[in-house]
Amino acid sequence: MNGHRSGKRPWLAAALALLYPGLGHAYLREWLRALTWFALTFATVALALPQSAVPDSGGVSLDAVMSATRALPTEASVAIFVLLVLNTVDAYRLARQESRPEETVVTDGERRCPNCGRETDADLEFCQWCTEPVETGE
């Protein structure tokens, strides 16, 4: 067992987000966030990359990508780098938030499950609805 309630590793989410923006969020099954980061990165590159930096080779190759990278202005490089850092930090924090065990909620003398939110029996050490462990309060 890895000790995380959701089973997702924060460092793996950050590494995937660093590899390609949105990939760490896809690992966490946060589909809208993954799509948003992917679209934001694509839009930033499309807006920041001047037409003069795009090679006229007609195809995508390693040489074409490397020449476009070398022709990238400093402002565009900084914008892409900041976006990459923010994406990575967001994926890591989201994974940490999901992996943190929640506390049992007690309101008006009723004990509620932190996972499903339903009222639980005070004598049980687990939620009878979703079978998640619940603190007994003793």
Domain ranges in the chain are 10-99, 103-138
User: Mean pLDDT, to the nearest integer, of 32-37?
Assistant: 96
> With 70 as the cut, is the pLDDT of residue 35 above it?
yes
User: Mean pLDDT, to the nearest integer, of 66-72?
Assistant: 79
The residue ranking higher by pLDDT, 111 or 87, is 87
What is the chain's mean pLDDT, rounded? 81
Cβ atoms of 102 and 114 closer than 8 Å = yes
Cβ atoms of 132 and 113 closer than 8 Å = yes
Cβ atoms of 94 and 30 closer than 8 Å = yes
What local confidence, expressed as pLDDT, does residue 4 receive?
44
Bridge-based pairing state of the strands 119-120 and 105-107: unpaired
Distance CA 97, CA 40 (A): 23
Buried b (16+ CB within 10 A) or exposed e, 93-122: ebbeebbeeeebeeeeeebbbbbeeeebee
pTM, full prediction? 0.62
User: Mean pLDDT, to the nearest integer, of 130-135?
Assistant: 81
